[in-house]
């Protein structure tokens, strides 16, 4: 259709003094960028296909490769940025909705980076995590109004079902189908080893992974894929997915080509058929419907599993959260607008929802004001990037955090944001067998364990600095935070003092 | 003894092991230099690429009953105490009988027309180059029964 | 300068406590003054105070309100309010003596009152019981009547505090004229404070009184939790928050002090492995249900209550505290010297472990 | 008289295999090795390379210089055994010594077959080509003026020819058969190789024999007369069984042994070229005069002598033969149903009996031929593997996953 107005975004820079034409790059590129020209006796590249996933760079034995952003520039225009123009070209060419994946990459303020953590000096001592116990165990679930004792002084009150975590970090929902079987295996094994949980996402649960059930959160989403009694009983908890930070108000669409034999079995849908998750649950048009779903799930599992309700952080998140707390849910998971996804309409991903930091502050405060904070635990996700983000989230009032993108990075993801193509060169967001096998779960599991171990050490260091030796004493301890470069309004919402105050 | 084993399901067929092996035994300290020589160094293992995405590397199994050694007409091949099978290329006259004896096709002819094979480059007890550089643990160096 | 309630002020301190197991009113106020006095250097003259139990036998069944007034208006407003909802059986100025180092004293009044629940309806909340009503009144007056501050409101006990060194405060309040079965004392070392009398310690609610040395790192976690249960932390001090926590757990949840210790200074998870299973289960349940009431950071507290005293250290023992005993009298203090000062020949003296509560209950005849 | 636990006659592959086999089991029992030749053990096939100048004398040794010491093996080199008394378990040596043995290994190898030709006995400069001594004799005479005549176009004859072709004036090869290398090639492949050798300067006289030899002339059956400076008789070898026969051991096409290399006489074992063994590919007994088998039989014999019951059965002929830059791999029996694959210059022929590969011939620069040989050794049912791709290139990929797993992922 006429001229292609899209110039390649990246350039493959190959140092021919180093290139030994081993052709590893060629074999490793699912986008078929590299090839060998027998006449030139040289490697050549079709840059228009390059997504900058860095696979070839990582595997080149002679470090002969680098991928750089092209410096070819359209005429500068502060209003019509190059990307904006290219998107118009793309849509004029395709007539379609722009698709992209992973988290919102746009330049919005990151409030984690505008909060600073406290430390002890003189008037009280910091605690050395290498000498003293530094506890990070958390329980998620409803807390009783009171604890009654019998004559003997033993506990009479029975607790609601709880999730017990050795550290306040879980792997967030990523469905089998959107990510590969090996990625799922790694998440499940690492969660088990580290005493935390991973989340099946809406793709059902492969029977092979039932063995990790104690460390599995099974999700029930609008598509109800792979949901059946054994599935519900298989996990430690059940998560109802109402929304996702990357695409609030939008359903999901897993293209048929990703529905191979195993995925189709697990999701209980025909092979090759598109898997459509409706935007709303068609049995939930209001909060009272949610209550019914929560209790039918509890009934189905004899009240042995805590129920999580996951929502996207949207404008009136506090009110919604309060409604959920009153609907019988044990845990609320809030997903910020930077949360990742396997595929979302670009406009939605980049323009809908609010930052998790503000949502969390508002929800925690609102639930306390309504005196129902103990009825529900709060889990937050949507771009938790480091141990300090975790510490800040907990100080703001979260019980635990979900990490998704960070986990994928740990196993090789380079955020090329092309999951939707299904050609993930790192074997993560793909179902193509030759690509899936690139992710050896043994290696991936170890890397995930390392990441959690490292973050937990850092969390403990920061706690020790604050003179806190158990994570529960940090929860909602907003005095431990100070804002930096924040407006009165932002401070008011976060309910923290400004640095220097 | 510790041997090289192949985890076929994890082999990507990237062939890195071949290049790292050839480099490790090239005597060069720089991989680029090794492969810019007129005679490119020859790997001592071989990656087979089959249909339907099956790949695997084949190198000397260091057999308990090494047909190559039994068949060697010059005594160039020998098995040391550890069980590693070595070749003395001063003695090898390139008759290739060992190649005909080896059930795995693990021996190859070198540029100088003598036979070369994997002798487990484990000097200063590091893992063999192919194992070290396999991006997906498809080649491992371990005890197995 | 901002005062307590407007800003959070860290402070180090000295604490001391004495109790007679038999509950005899054999302890003269001077004894506790002598004990705290020896720890002069642990205070800096910006606050001292005492709590005495069994000091008002003649009004044992009435709530004794000790109130600071900054102005006559405040006094009138407050008394009008009290008259409306309480039967004021007796009242008067708390007798004091001029002490040079004690300056800018407010008007200090004492009322022995009896709540009139029937009348209570008219103020917003319908009181569940007498004690709740008293607590609500205290919160109401302290936060709504400018210049009036109730700093003691228990039965047959009283708190005496001021800006100054504790020994001077004791002399100022003429504590040698009071006898009781149990006393606690506090000498304060705030890093900065205008020295507001209300900000001195002990802090009291009903018959709970707390003296505390330390700076807890869990403060805001504890505060934001306890405030979900109708407590208002108006002073932003550790002592206030700890007092409310103890009131919440003991009075509202009927948990014994032994268990309270297991909640606010909970054993470490790794200790549970070596415990008897039912005990371990209990602690696990507590740590789960009351996770936000765990107090971290350094503290040593002495909590006085009608039936006795509890002394407790944070679980790492980041603050000093020793306990000694002679015959039926138990002594507690930040430093051994403070005990030796009032009792030379002790039966024993020791330093309790971190998180190990020292609980002394008075045994009365018929009880 | 001297007493030895183990006595070995013969110092080549089978004998050395015997020593090694014994020492695997018995580290101390005394060993005596007796050999007619005076040299430290050397590799017989290397004599042609030596003559060609490709290897030095030192590099010809089959095992390093301290092999005997390392294995506590006493030797009598340059000494021949004249008699075996099986009942007394005694040997008589030509130096007068007698030796008493507990276990005896006969690995006397083979002797060149010298056809009855008129004038042969008196002939000058006439050699066979199986021993160092012969090679040394030839080398003394060989120069660029030499006219060389070789009788026999088999393995030995052609290796001798290869060794000399570039060091002499002319070289003629005579054979009664109608093709060269009759034992391992069919006419087509033989023709192909012959052409190559002719290109290198060899002259062949096939379907021809020498009627008589007379003052450095050979008179051929076709009437031609060839002057020679060096005459090599390489018609073939025979198992060296004379001693055995004298001792009344059972012999046929070589000394008869069971699968443990035990002869018809208790405590007397035999191994190597002097024995008859079972060719699993041809499914018949024959004398397989090839080094790898000799060594393996020797080792098995040694193990049994030292008391470790071991069986040798997987025997079939293999040859890896380089002739002036052309390489030939052959294995097994070449009489089955033939499938040939040619790519370019190279030739591949596979011989099947039903689903089983029985033999093959590869001519050219081939890699991994052992994978084919192993199909014969393991008697692999070729219908269970992808034989088509296998015949294109030898590969383990032609096996199913489990087979590969056994090969590559479990200990050997």
Structure pTM? 0.90
In a domain, A343, yes or no: yes
In a domain, D102, yes or no: yes
Q: How far is CA A56 from CA A20, A52, A350, in A?
A: 14, 9, 29
Domain range spanning residue A51? 10-96
CATH number of the domain to which A251 belongs: 3.20.20.70
Confidence bin at C10 (pLDDT 50/70/90): low
Shared domain for A45 and A143, answered yes or no, is no
| D203-205 and D98-106 beta bridge pairing | unpaired
In a domain, D192, yes or no: yes
| Chains interfacing with C (3 or more CB pairs < 8 Å) | A
Task: Kindly provide the residue ranges of all beta strands, DSSP E only, lying in C206-328, ordered along the sequence.
Answer: 208-214, 299-305, 308-313, 322-326
Domain boundary among A41, A73, A96: A96
Query: Looking at CA atoms only, how far is residue B99 from chain D in angstroms?
Result: 6
User: How far apart (Å, rounded) are the C-alpha atoms in residues A335 and D346?
Assistant: 67
User: How far apart (Å, rounded) are the C-alpha atoms in residues A276 and A194?
Assistant: 34
Q: State whether B12 and A28 contact (CB < 8 Å).
A: yes
Task: Count other Cβ atoms within 10 Å, centred on residue B24.
Answer: 22
Judged against a pLDDT cut of 80, whether residue C229 lies above it is answered with yes
Strand order in the sheet with D217-220: D210-214, D217-220, D225-227
Shared domain for D106 and D252, answered yes or no, is yes
What are C246-258's pLDDT values in tens digits?
999 999 999 999 9
Question: Which of the pair, A251 or A296, is modelled with greater confidence?
Answer: A296
Helix (H, G, I), strand (E, B) or coil at C243: helix
Q: Do chains C and B touch (3 or more CB pairs under 8 A)?
A: no
Confidence bin at C366 (pLDDT 50/70/90): very low
Closest to A247 (Cα-Cα) out of A428, A104, A111, A401: A104
Query: Looking at CA atoms only, how far is residue D17 from chain B in angstroms?
Result: 9
Note the pLDDT of residue A425.
97
User: How far apart (Å, rounded) are the C-alpha atoms in residues C321 and C323?
Assistant: 7
Q: State whether A137 and C269 contact (CB < 8 Å).
A: yes
- B99 contacts in chain D (CB < 8 Å): 320, 329, 367-370
Domains recognised in chain B with CATH numbers: 1-59+121-145 (3.30.70), 62-117 (3.30.70.20)
* DSSP H or E segment with residue D343: strand D337-343
Shared domain for A203 and A330, answered yes or no, is yes
Note the pLDDT of residue D290.
87
Q: State whether B100 and D377 contact (CB < 8 Å).
A: no
Domain boundary among A34, A66, A96: A96
In a domain, D117, yes or no: no
Q: State whether B48 and D395 contact (CB < 8 Å).
A: yes
Shared domain for A89 and A167, answered yes or no, is no
- B58 contacts in chain D (CB < 8 Å): 396, 408
* B58 DSSP assignment: E
Note the pLDDT of residue C129.
84
In a domain, A319, yes or no: yes
Sign of the Cα pseudo-torsion (C49, C52, C56, C60, in order)? positive
**C-alpha A35 chain-centroid distance:** 35
Shared domain for A239 and A387, answered yes or no, is yes
Provide the total of helices (H) and of strands (E) in chain D, helices listed first. 11, 26
Shared domain for D229 and D242, answered yes or no, is no
Shared domain for A172 and A313, answered yes or no, is yes
- Which residue from A20, A28, A433 is facing B14, i.e. has the nearest CB? A28
CATH number of the domain to which D163 belongs: 3.50.50.60
- A468 contacts in chain C (CB < 8 Å): 217-218, 296-297
Shared domain for A223 and A287, answered yes or no, is yes
CATH number of the domain to which A27 belongs: 3.30.70.20
- B15 contacts in chain A (CB < 8 Å): 22-24, 27
Q: State whether B15 and A27 contact (CB < 8 Å).
A: yes
Mean pLDDT (whole number) for A486-492? 97
Query: Vertex D283, ends D280 and D286: CA angle to 5°?
Result: 85
Q: Is the distance from CB of A14 to CB of A34 less than 8 angstroms? A: no
Q: Is the distance from CB of C242 to CB of C265 less than 8 angstroms? A: no
- B62 contacts in chain D (CB < 8 Å): 412
Q: Is the distance from CB of A474 to CB of A466 less than 8 angstroms? A: yes
Q: Which of A29, A433, A440 to mutate to test the interface with B (most CBs of B within 10 A)?
A: A440
Number of residues that make up chain C: 367
Looking only at Cα atoms, what is the longest distance across chain A?
A: 92
Shared domain for A392 and A471, answered yes or no, is yes
Domains recognised in chain C with CATH numbers: 11-321+353-361 (3.60.20.10)
Q: State whether B67 and D370 contact (CB < 8 Å).
A: yes
Judged by CB atoms within 8 Å, which residues 298-327 of D form the interface with B? Answer: 299, 318-322, 327
Q: Is the distance from CB of C132 to CB of C124 less than 8 angstroms? A: no
Note the pLDDT of residue A494.
97
Residues of chain D with pLDDT under 70: none
Q: Is the distance from CB of D300 to CB of D361 less than 8 angstroms? A: no
**Could you tell me what percent of chain A has a pLDDT over 90?**
89
Confidence bin at C45 (pLDDT 50/70/90): confident
Judged against a pLDDT cut of 70, whether residue A419 lies above it is answered with yes
Question: Which of the pair, A153 or C120, is modelled with greater confidence?
Answer: A153
Note the pLDDT of residue A252.
84
Q: Which of C6, C291, C318, C354 to mutate to test the interface with A (most CBs of A within 10 A)?
A: C291
Judged against a pLDDT cut of 70, whether residue C127 lies above it is answered with no
Shared domain for A263 and A382, answered yes or no, is yes
Task: Kindly provide the residue ranges of all beta strands, DSSP E only, lying in C147-283, ordered along the sequence.
Answer: 148-152, 157-162, 179-180, 182-190, 203-205, 208-214
**Could you tell me what percent of chain B has a pLDDT over 70?**
99
Query: Looking at CA atoms only, how far is residue B96 from chain D in angstroms?
Result: 6
**Any residues with CB less than 8 A from the CB of A165 and at least 6 apart, and which?**
A137, A138, A139, A140, A195, A196, A197, A400
- Which residue from B74, B90, B145 is facing D46, i.e. has the nearest CB? B74
Mean pLDDT (whole number) for A290-310? 97
Judged against a pLDDT cut of 50, whether residue C335 lies above it is answered with yes
Confidence bin at A457 (pLDDT 50/70/90): very high
Confidence bin at C1 (pLDDT 50/70/90): low
Q: Is A497 within 8 Å of chain B by CB?
A: no
In chain A, the residue whose alpha carbon lies closest to the alpha carbon of C260 is: A147
User: How far apart (Å, rounded) are the C-alpha atoms in residues B18 and B133?
Assistant: 10
Q: State whether A146 and C253 contact (CB < 8 Å).
A: yes
Query: Looking at CA atoms only, how far is residue D261 from chain B in angstroms?
Result: 17
Please tell me the total count of domains within chain A.
2
User: DSSP string spanning A212-276?
Assistant: GGGGEEEEE-TT-TT--HHHHHHSSEEEEE---TTSTT--EEE-GGG--HHHHHHHTS-TT--EE
Shared domain for D79 and D217, answered yes or no, is no
What are A309-362's pLDDT values in tens digits?
999 999 999 999 999 999 999 999 999 999 999 889 999 999 999 999 999 999
Q: State whether A477 and C228 contact (CB < 8 Å).
A: no
Domain boundary among D209, D233, D257: D233
Q: State whether C286 and A147 contact (CB < 8 Å).
A: yes
In chain A, the residue whose alpha carbon lies closest to the alpha carbon of C252 is: A146
Q: State whether B99 and D407 contact (CB < 8 Å).
A: no
- D369 contacts in chain B (CB < 8 Å): 96, 99-100, 105
Q: Is the distance from CB of C207 to CB of C66 less than 8 angstroms? A: no
**Any residues with CB less than 8 A from the CB of A79 and at least 6 apart, and which?**
none
- C220 contacts in chain A (CB < 8 Å): 476-480
Task: Assess whether C13 carries a catalytic annotation.
Answer: yes
Judged by CB atoms within 8 Å, which residues 273-302 of D form the interface with B? Answer: 291-292, 295-296, 299
In chain C, the residue whose alpha carbon lies closest to the alpha carbon of A394 is: C221
What are A225-269's pLDDT values in tens digits?
999 999 999 999 999 999 999 999 988 888 888 888 999 999 999
Q: Is A480 within 8 Å of chain C by CB?
A: yes
Domain boundary among A69, A96, A123: A96
Shared domain for D246 and D389, answered yes or no, is no
**C-alpha D256 chain-centroid distance:** 18
Sign of the Cα pseudo-torsion (C98, C103, C104, C108, in order)? negative
CATH number of the domain to which D358 belongs: 3.30.390.30
| Chains interfacing with B (3 or more CB pairs < 8 Å) | A, D
Q: State whether D369 and B56 contact (CB < 8 Å).
A: no
In chain A, the residue whose alpha carbon lies closest to the alpha carbon of C13 is: A123
- Number of CB pairs, chain A paired with chain B, less than 8 A apart: 51
- A17 contacts in chain B (CB < 8 Å): 32
Query: Looking at CA atoms only, how far is residue D197 from chain B in angstroms?
Result: 18
User: How far apart (Å, rounded) are the C-alpha atoms in residues C282 and D332?
Assistant: 80
- A146 contacts in chain C (CB < 8 Å): 252-253
Q: State whether A124 and C294 contact (CB < 8 Å).
A: no
Note the pLDDT of residue B21.
96
**Is there a cis peptide before residue B97, judged by omega within 30 degrees of 0?**
no
- B104 contacts in chain D (CB < 8 Å): 368, 370-371, 396, 407-408
**Any residues with CB less than 8 A from the CB of D337 and at least 6 apart, and which?**
D351, D352, D353
Shared domain for D263 and D336, answered yes or no, is no
In a domain, A116, yes or no: no
In a domain, D36, yes or no: yes
Please tell me the total count of domains within chain D.
3
- B53 contacts in chain A (CB < 8 Å): 433-434, 437
Q: Is A27 within 8 Å of chain B by CB?
A: yes
Query: Looking at CA atoms only, how far is residue C159 from chain A in angstroms?
Result: 26
In a domain, A101, yes or no: no
Closest to C9 (Cα-Cα) out of C313, C223, C298, C239: C239
- Which residue from A124, A374, A469 is facing C214, i.e. has the nearest CB? A124
Shared domain for A182 and A323, answered yes or no, is yes
Shared domain for A83 and A182, answered yes or no, is no
Domain range spanning residue D363? 326-409
Judged against a pLDDT cut of 60, whether residue C278 lies above it is answered with yes
Q: Is the distance from CB of D145 to CB of D309 less than 8 angstroms? A: no
Shared domain for D405 and D349, answered yes or no, is yes
Shared domain for A70 and A162, answered yes or no, is no
Domain boundary among D270, D305, D340: D305
Shared domain for A43 and A152, answered yes or no, is no
In chain A, the residue whose alpha carbon lies closest to the alpha carbon of C266 is: A470
Mean pLDDT of chain C: 92
In a domain, D311, yes or no: no
Judged against a pLDDT cut of 50, whether residue C367 lies above it is answered with no
| Chains interfacing with A (3 or more CB pairs < 8 Å) | B, C
Q: How far is CA C257 from CA A487, C238, C296, C311, in A?
A: 45, 19, 18, 10
């Amino acid at each position: 259709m006429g001229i292609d107005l899209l110039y390649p975004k990246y350039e493959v820079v190959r140092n021919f003094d180093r290139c030994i034409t081993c052709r590893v790059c060629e074999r490793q590129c699912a986008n078929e960028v590299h090839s060998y020209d027998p006449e030139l006796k040289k490697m050549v590249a079709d840059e228009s296909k390059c997504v900058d996933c860095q696979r070839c760079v990582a595997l080149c034995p002679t470090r002969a490769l680098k991928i750089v952003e092209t410096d070819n520039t359209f005429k500068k225009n502060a209003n019509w940025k190059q990307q904006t123009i290219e998107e118009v070209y793309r849509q004029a060419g395709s007539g379609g909705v722009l698709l992209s994946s992973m988290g919102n990459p746009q330049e919005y303020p990151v409030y984690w980076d505008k909060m600073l953590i406290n430390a002890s000096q003189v008037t009280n001592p910091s605690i050395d995590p290498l000498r003293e116990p530094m506890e990070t165990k958390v329980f998620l679930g409803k807390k009783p109004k009171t604890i009654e004792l019998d004559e003997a002084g033993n506990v009479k009150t029975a607790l609601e079902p709880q999730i017990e975590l050795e550290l306040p970090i879980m792997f967030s929902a990523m469905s089998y189908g959107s990510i590969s079987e090996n990625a799922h295996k790694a998440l499940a094994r690492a969660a088990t080893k580290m005493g935390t949980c991973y989340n099946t996402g809406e793709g059902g649960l492969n029977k092979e992974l039932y063995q990790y059930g104690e460390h599995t959160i099974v999700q029930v989403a609008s598509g109800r894929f792979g949901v059946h009694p054994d599935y519900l009983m298989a996990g430690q908890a059940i998560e109802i997915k109402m929304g996702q930070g990357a695409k609030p108000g939008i359903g999901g669409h897993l293209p048929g080509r990703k529905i191979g034999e195993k995925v189709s079995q697990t999701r209980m849908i025909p092979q090759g058929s598109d898997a459509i998750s409706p935007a709303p649950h068609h049995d939930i048009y209001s909060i009272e419907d949610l209550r019914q779903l929560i209790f039918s799930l509890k009934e189905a599992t004899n009240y042995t599993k805590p129920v999580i309700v996951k929502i996207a952080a949207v404008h009136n998140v506090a009110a919604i959260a309060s409604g959920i707390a009153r609907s019988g849910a044990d845990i609320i998971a809030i997903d910020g607008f930077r949360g990742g996804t396997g595929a979302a309409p670009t406009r939605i991903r980049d323009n809908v929802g609010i930052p998790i930091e503000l949502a969390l502050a508002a929800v925690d405060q609102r639930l306390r004001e309504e005196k129902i904070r103990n009825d529900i635990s709060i889990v937050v996700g949507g771009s938790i990037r480091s141990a300090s983000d975790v510490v800040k989230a907990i100080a703001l009032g979260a019980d635990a955090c979900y990490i998704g993108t960070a986990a994928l990075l740990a196993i090789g993801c380079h955020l090329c944001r092309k999951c939707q193509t299904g050609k993930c060169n790192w074997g993560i967001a793909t179902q193509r067998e030759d690509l899936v096998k690139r992710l050896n779960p043994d290696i991936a599991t170890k890397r995930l364990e390392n990441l959690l171990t490292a973050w937990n050490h850092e969390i403990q260091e920061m706690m020790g600095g604050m003179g806190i030796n158990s994570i529960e004493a940090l929860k909602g301890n907003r005095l431990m935070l100070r804002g930096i470069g924040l407006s009165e309004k932002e401070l008011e919402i976060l309910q923290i003092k400004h640095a220097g105050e | 003894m510790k041997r090289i084993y192949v985890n076929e399901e994890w082999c990507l067929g990237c062939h890195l092991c071949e290049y790292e092996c050839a480099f490790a035994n090239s005597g060069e300290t720089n991989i680029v230099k090794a492969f810019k020589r007129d005679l490119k160094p020859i790997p001592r293992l071989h990656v087979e690429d089959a249909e339907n995405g099956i790949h695997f590397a084949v190198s000397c199994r260091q057999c308990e009953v090494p047909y190559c050694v039994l068949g060697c007409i010059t005594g160039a091949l020998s098995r040391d105490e550890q069980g590693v099978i070595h070749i003395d290329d001063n003695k090898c006259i390139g008759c290739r009988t060992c190649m005909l004896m080896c059930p795995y096709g693990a021996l190859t002819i070198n540029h100088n027309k003598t036979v070369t094979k994997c002798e487990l480059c484990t000097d200063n007890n590091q893992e063999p180059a192919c194992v070290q550089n396999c991006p997906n643990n498809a080649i491992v160096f371990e005890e197995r029964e | 300068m901002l005062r307590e309630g407007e800003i959070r002020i860290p402070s180090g301190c000295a604490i001391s406590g004495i109790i007679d197991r038999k509950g005899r009113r054999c302890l003269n106020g001077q004894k506790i003054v002598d004990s705290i006095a020896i720890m002069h250097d642990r205070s800096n003259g910006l606050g001292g105070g005492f709590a005495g139990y069994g000091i008002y036998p003649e009004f044992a069944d009435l709530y004794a309100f000790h109130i600071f007034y900054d102005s006559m208006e405040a006094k009138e407003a407050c008394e009008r309010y009290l008259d409306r909802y309480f039967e004021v059986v007796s009242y008067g100025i708390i007798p004091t003596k001029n002490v040079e180092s004690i300056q800018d004293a407010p008007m200090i009044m004492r009322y022995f009152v009896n709540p009139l629940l029937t009348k209570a309806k008219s103020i917003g909340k319908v009181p569940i019981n007498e004690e709740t009503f008293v607590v609500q009144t205290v919160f109401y007056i302290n936060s709504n009547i400018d210049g009036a501050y109730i700093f003691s409101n228990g039965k047959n006990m009283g708190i005496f505090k001021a800006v100054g060194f504790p020994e001077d405060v004791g002399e100022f309040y003429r504590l040698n004229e009071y006898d009781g079965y149990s006393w606690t004392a506090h000498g304060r070392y705030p890093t900065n404070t205008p020295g507001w009398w209300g900000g001195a310690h002990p802090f009291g609610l009903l018959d709970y009184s707390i003296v505390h040395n330390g700076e807890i790192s869990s403060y805001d976690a504890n505060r934001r939790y306890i405030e979900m249960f109708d407590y208002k932390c108006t002073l932003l001090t550790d002592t206030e928050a700890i007092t409310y926590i103890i009131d919440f757990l003991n009075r509202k949840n009927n948990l014994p002090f032994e268990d309270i210790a297991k909640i606010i200074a909970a054993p470490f998870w790794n200790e549970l492995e070596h415990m008897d299973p039912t005990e371990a289960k209990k602690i696990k349940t507590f740590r789960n249900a009351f996770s936000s009431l765990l107090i971290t950071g350094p503290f040593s507290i002495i909590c006085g209550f009608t039936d006795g005293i509890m002394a407790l250290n944070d679980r790492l023992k980041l603050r000093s505290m020793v306990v000694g005993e002679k015959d039926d009298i138990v002594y507690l203090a930040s430093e051994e010297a403070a005990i030796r000062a009032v009792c030379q020949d002790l039966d024993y003296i020791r330093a309790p472990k971190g998180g190990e509560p020292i609980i002394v209950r008075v045994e009365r005849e018929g009880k | 008289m001297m007493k030895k636990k183990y006595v070995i006659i013969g110092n080549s592959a089978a004998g050395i295999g015997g020593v090694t086999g014994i020492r695997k089991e018995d580290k101390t029992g005394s060993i005596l090795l007796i050999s007619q030749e005076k040299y430290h053990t050397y590799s017989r096939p290397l004599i042609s390379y030596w003559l060609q100048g490709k290897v030095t004398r030192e590099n010809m040794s089959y095992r390093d210089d301290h092999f005997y010491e390392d294995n506590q093996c006493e030797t009598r080199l340059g000494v021949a055994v004249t008699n075996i008394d099986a009942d007394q378990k005694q040997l008589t040596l030509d130096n007068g010594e007698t030796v008493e043995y507990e276990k005896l290994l006969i690995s006397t190898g083979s002797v060149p077959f010298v056809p009855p030709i008129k004038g042969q006995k008196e002939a000058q400069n006439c050699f066979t080509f199986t021993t160092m001594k012969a090679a040394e004799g030839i080398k003394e005479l060989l120069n660029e003026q030499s006219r060389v005549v070789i009788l026999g176009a088999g393995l030995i004859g052609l290796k001798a020819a290869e060794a000399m072709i570039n060091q002499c004036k002319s070289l003629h090869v005579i054979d009664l058969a109608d093709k060269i290398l009759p034992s391992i090639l069919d006419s087509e492949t033989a023709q192909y190789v012959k052409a190559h050798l002719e290109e290198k300067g060899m002259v062949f006289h096939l379907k021809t024999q020498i009627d008589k030899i007379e003052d450095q002339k050979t008179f051929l059956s076709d009437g031609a007369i060839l002057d020679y400076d060096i005459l090599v008789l390489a018609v073939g070898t025979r198992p060296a069984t004379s001693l055995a026969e004298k001792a009344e051991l059972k012999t046929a096409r070589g000394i008869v042994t069971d699968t443990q290399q035990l002869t018809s006489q208790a405590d007397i074992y035999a191994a190597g070229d002097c024995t008859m063994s079972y060719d699993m590919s041809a499914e018949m007994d024959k004398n397989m005069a090839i080094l790898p088998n000799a060594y393996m039989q020797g080792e098995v014999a040694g193990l049994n002598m030292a008391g470790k019951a071991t069986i040798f059965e997987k025997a079939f002929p293999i040859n890896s033969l380089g002739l002036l830059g052309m390489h030939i791999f052959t294995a097994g029996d070449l009489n089955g149903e033939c499938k040939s694959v040619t790519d370019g210059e190279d030739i591949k022929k596979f011989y099947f009996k039903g689903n089983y590969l029985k033999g093959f011939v590869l001519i050219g620069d081939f890699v991994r031929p052992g994978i084919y040989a192993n199909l014969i050794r393991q008697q692999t049912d070729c219908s269970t593997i992808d034989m088509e791709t296998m015949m294109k290139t030898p590969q383990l990929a032609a096996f199913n996953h489990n087979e590969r797993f056994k090969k590559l992922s479990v200990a050997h």
